[in-house]
Each structure stands twice: as structure tokens, then as C-alpha cells.
DNA sequence: TAAATAATCTAACAGTGTTAAGCAAATGTA
DNA sequence: TACATTTGCTTAACACTGTTAGATTATTTA
């Protein structure tokens, strides 16, 4: 009899443990949204989830572990956006354009996550490599670029080059807007963004 | 008699004060080159110049003051490079290209300063605005772009747009190389860089 | 030489990430 | 039910961080 109850309580305990883990991540992101990455500290997170700091170390190895998990979650979100907008378009060209615009939108609707993921105005954790979620998004771009260039039989290296050309200009443009806010107007950004994307797509078969 | 000596010693004192100020900046940059921006601390700087930490506060308001001065110095260096390479070319097109390549080279020959100035992998100090040295370099680009576009009588806004298009792609490309080292090969970078610069220059009259 | 001033250091405060020890409550066992 | 054990959580501490105030030492001035 007690056995059954114990089993149930064990599950309950594991459930609230997962909840606490999620609470830690939520609290962290909330603090960052309020006062920026600089202001994030273990004790503040603990305060927010109404525990003391050492508790966090039962859920994450250290502070960097929290950051790593947040970048992972960011990549999951971004990937979801990619898939959603890709499904909305037929031609690879339109899909590619839509995905870069989704990338752009993500940077501003999840400003803090973007800063963490791509190191704008932020201490970038070195462990970002070997995140499979990040690779998945990259692969989507590779595939699309390859498809568009199919008649010219592109090498992996050329596809890679096109991808980074895209990434550079869009990340650079986002950087201006996130770090030096207000240097460019919204209409300007839209102009630069569309020009750049379509320009590169047009030049993709060079 | 003593008066003359006193005057001399006062000058000497001011000279070694300026030396100490420079030593602080040198020490800071040295530490960053050895162990990165994260590792920079007031006490480490003090150790290196063989003083104790509070001394530094007689030369700089706080740590951010040191960072601000280093970004200023970085901008001075960059501006010097700009002027040097511009003098080496005749046509505005060649000058513009040479300046962006100088920008690129600066990012890697003064990696740490670039990180500080443009917030790659670094806590970017917000006080960067209103640095006249930074404005001067920007103006050089504006002038060149205006000159190249002279027949189409560009508005300030369009020139601004072209400038940020340049900056975006080059800063983005530098970001990949400074933050995610080794993602792209050197030859690839050269390819992307030249392609991008000449592509944008060619499209500058659109 | 004695007083005044400048240069420098020590000590401290509040904050950071992180770890070890301890307490108290819940659980398992007899 | 009584004892033992594990679990959850906290307090305390360590080694750092930036920064400031007060004491101390050295130098200059009278």
C-alpha cells in the first residue's frame, strides 16, 4: 500500500524537480530581461525561485551550465521558427528569404537569447560548439543554398561561403541594432535587410 | 635656486604620472592579450605596474574609464590606418576598398581592441557614444561613398544605408572569426571579404 | 629640523561564483 | 513505535571582484 503511494510521490518529486529546473531558467531570463546579462547572478536567481544559491548547483553544474542550456533553448526556438516559415513557401528562393527574415525577427523578439547565442554585447560561453540544435538550423540553410545552386554543382566549400556571407551581413546588421541602438531607423533596416538578402540570393549562382 | 629645481621636479613628477597612466593601459591590454577580457581585474593591473589597486583610481574614475580610454586609443589607431591607406590610392573606389580591408586587418592585428570597440565577445561599455575619434572614421567612409555616388545625388540617408551595409557584412564576418574561431578558413575569408566589398561597391549606385 | 603635503598602502564593504559542513525534516527499517 | 538513514535545504566559508575610507609612509616646504 505504502509502496504505491511512494511511487506516486517519487514521480511527484521528480515533477517538481523538473519544475524547479525550469524555474531556474525562467528566473535567469527574467533577470536578464530586467537588468541585462551583466546583472545576472546565482544569488539573484535563488532569490527569485525562493531558494538559496547552492540549490542551483543540484540542477546545473555551474553558471555557465545555465547559459549553455539557455542557448540550447534559444536554438530550439529558432529552429522551430525556421521550420514554420519554410513550410509557408514553395520555392527554395522564397524559403531562404523567409528563413533569414525569421532569423532577423528572432533576434529582436528574443533579444536576450540572441545576445547569448551569438555573443553580441555578452560574454560568450565557449562551450557553444557541439550544440546539435545549432547545427540543425545551419544544415537547413546549407540544403536550401545547395538546391538553389543545383545547376552549378556547388562544392561544400562554396555553399559554406554563401552561408557565411548571408550570416555575416545579417548578424552584422543585428549587431548595430542591439549594441548601438538607434543608429539606424526601422525603415533603413528593412531596406538594408531586403536589399542584402535578395542581392545575395541573386548573386548566389556566381 | 631651489625654485628652479622644484619646477624641474614638478615636471618630472608629471612626466612619471603620465608614464604610470600609460603603464596602466599597457598592463591592462597585456593581461587581456594573455587571458582575455574576462580575466582583467584592477588588482591584476596593479600587480603588473607594481602598485596596489587604489592607485589606479587616481588615474581613472573606475574600471570602465580604463575601457573607455582603450576604445579611444583603438579608434585613434584605426583612424591612422584609414588615413595611411587612403593616401596610397587614387580613385575613391580603390580608397574605399582599401579602407575596408584596413578595417579587416585591424580587427585581427588588434584583436582585443576590436573586441572592446565593437563588442564582440565582450561586455561593451555603453559610453562608447560621443567618441569623436569614432565619428571621424565614419565620416571618411561617408565622404567616399558620397563621392562615388556623386552622379546620383545621394541623400544622407542613402549614404548612411550603404555605409551600414558595408559595416554589417564586414563586422559580421569578423565576428565569426573572433568568436567562433576556425569556422571558416583563411582563403574562404579572403574570398568572402573581396566578394562582399566589390559587390557592394558595384551595387553602390543602385 | 619641524610642519605640511603628497604618495601609497592596509583594511574594509558589498558583491560575485562555488564548495563543504551541518541541521532538520522526511523516509525506510526493526 | 523507535531508531537509522537518506534527502532537502541552509549557513558559513573561500577566493575572487570593484571600490572607498583611513592610516601610514615618504617627500617637499618653511
Q: B76 and B152, same structural domain?
A: yes
The span from the CA of B30 to the CA of B43, in Å, is 14
Whether residue B159 lies inside any domain: the answer is yes
Whether residue B50 lies inside any domain: the answer is yes
From residue A174, how far is each of A31, A86, B29, B43, B105 by CA, in Å?
Answer: 22, 21, 28, 35, 22
User: Which stretch of A155-164, B61-70, B88-97, B187-196 has the lowest confidence by average pLDDT?
Assistant: B187-196
Q: What is the pLDDT of residue A5?
A: 38
Helix intervals (H) in A110-185? 111-118, 132-148, 156-179
Residue B164 exposure: Cα atoms within 13 Å on the Cβ side: 25
Tens-digit pLDDT profile for residues A107-166: 999 999 998 888 765 544 444 445 777 778 888 888 888 888 887 888 888 888 888 887
Mean predicted lDDT score pLDDT of chain B: 83
Q: A77 and A38, same structural domain?
A: no
CATH number, position A53? 1.10.10.60
Tens-digit pLDDT profile for residues B17-65: 899 999 999 999 999 999 999 999 999 999 999 999 999 999 999 999 9
Q: A108 and A183, same structural domain?
A: yes
Q: Is the pLDDT of residue A6 over 70?
A: no
Most confident stretch, A10-14, B81-85, B162-166: B81-85
Q: A78 and A6, same structural domain?
A: no
Q: Which of A60, A79, A110 is the last residue of a domain?
A: A60
Q: A14 and A56, same structural domain?
A: yes
How many other C-beta atoms are found inside a 10 Å radius of the C-beta of residue B143?
Answer: 14
Q: Which of A18, A43, A60 is the last residue of a domain?
A: A60
Categorize the per-residue pLDDT at B1 as very low, low, confident or very high, splitting at 50, 70 and 90.
very low
Q: Which domain holds residue A27?
A: 1-60
Q: What is the pLDDT of residue A59?
A: 97
Residue of A nearest to B129 (CA): A180
Whether residue B79 lies inside any domain: the answer is yes
Q: A191 and A93, same structural domain?
A: yes
Q: Is the pLDDT of residue B108 over 80?
A: yes
Query: What share of chain A in percent tops pLDDT 70?
Result: 85
Whether residue B81 lies inside any domain: the answer is yes
Categorize the per-residue pLDDT at A176 as very low, low, confident or very high, splitting at 50, 70 and 90.
confident
Nearest alpha-carbon partner for B174 in A119, A106, A197 = A119
Q: Is the pLDDT of residue A81 over 80?
A: yes
Mean predicted lDDT score pLDDT of chain A: 83
Q: What is the pLDDT of residue B182?
A: 62
Q: B160 and B79, same structural domain?
A: yes
Q: A199 and A163, same structural domain?
A: yes
Q: What is the pLDDT of residue B6?
A: 44
Whose grid coordinates read 543602385?
Answer: B206
Establish whether the CB of B51 is closer than 7 Å to any nucleic acid atom in strand C: yes
Q: What is the pLDDT of residue A51?
A: 97
Q: What is the pLDDT of residue A135?
A: 77
Whether residue B65 lies inside any domain: the answer is no
Residue–nucleotide distance: A22 CA to C23 C1' (Å): 28
Q: Is the pLDDT of residue A1 over 70?
A: no
Residues of A in contact with B206 (CB under 8 A): 195
Domain count, chain A: 2
Interface of B with A (CB under 8 A): 38, 118-124, 128-129, 157, 160-161, 164-165, 167-173, 175-176, 179-180, 183-184, 188, 191-192, 195-196, 199, 203, 206
The span from the CA of A49 to the CA of A25, in Å, is 10
CATH number, position A130? 1.10.357.10
Q: A110 and A34, same structural domain?
A: no
Whether residue B78 lies inside any domain: the answer is yes
Q: A142 and A179, same structural domain?
A: yes
Q: A80 and A16, same structural domain?
A: no
Q: Which of A60, A89, A110 is the last residue of a domain?
A: A60
The span from the CA of A162 to the CA of B192, in Å, is 8
Tens-digit pLDDT profile for residues A183-202: 677 787 888 777 777 777 76
Report, as an integer, the average pLDDT of A173-179. 76
Q: Which three cell numbers stand for residue A17?
A: 524537480
Q: B47 and B26, same structural domain?
A: yes
From residue B79, how far is each of A108, B94, B121, B139, B172 by CA, in Å?
Answer: 32, 17, 23, 11, 20
Residues of B in contact with A182 (CB under 8 A): none
Helix intervals (H) in A38-91? 42-48, 53-56, 63-87
CA distance B164 to chain A (A): 7
Q: What is the pLDDT of residue B157?
A: 83
CA distance B102 to chain A (A): 18
Interface of A with B (CB under 8 A): 38, 118-124, 128-129, 157, 160-161, 164-165, 167-173, 175-176, 179-180, 183-184, 188, 191-192, 195-196, 199, 203, 206
Tens-digit pLDDT profile for residues A32-42: 999 999 999 99
Tens-digit pLDDT profile for residues B131-156: 777 778 888 888 888 888 887 888 88
Amino acid at each position: 500500500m505504502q509502496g504505491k503511494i511512494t511511487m506516486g510521490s517519487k514521480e511527484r518529486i521528480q515533477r517538481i524537480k523538473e519544475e524547479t529546473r525550469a524555474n531556474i531558467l525562467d528566473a535567469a531570463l527574467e533577470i536578464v530581461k530586467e537588468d541585462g546579462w551583466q546583472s545576472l547572478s546565482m544569488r539573484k536567481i535563488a532569490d527569485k525561485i525562493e531558494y538559496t544559491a547552492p540549490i542551483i548547483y543540484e540542477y546545473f553544474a555551474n553558471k555557465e551550465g545555465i547559459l549553455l542550456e539557455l542557448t540550447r533553448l534559444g536554438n530550439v526556438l529558432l529552429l522551430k521558427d525556421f521550420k514554420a516559415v519554410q513550410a509557408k513557401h514553395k520555392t527554395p528562393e522564397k524559403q531562404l528569404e523567409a528563413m533569414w527574415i525569421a532569423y532577423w525577427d528572432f533576434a529582436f523578439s528574443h533579444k536576450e537569447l540572441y545576445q547569448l547565442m551569438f555573443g553580441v554585447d555578452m560574454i560568450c560561453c565557449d562551450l557553444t560548439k557541439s550544440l546539435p540544435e545549432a547545427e540543425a538550423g545551419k544544415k537547413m540553410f546549407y540544403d536550401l543554398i545547395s538546391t538553389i545552386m543545383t545547376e552549378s554543382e556547388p562544392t561544400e566549400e562554396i555553399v559554406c561561403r554563401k552561408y557565411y556571407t548571408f550570416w555575416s551581413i545579417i548578424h552584422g546588421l543585428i549587431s548595430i541594432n542591439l549594441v548601438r541602438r538607434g543608429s539606424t531607423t526601422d525603415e533603413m533596416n528593412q531596406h538594408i535587410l531586403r536589399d542584402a538578402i535578395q542581392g545575395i540570393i541573386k548573386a548566389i549562382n556566381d
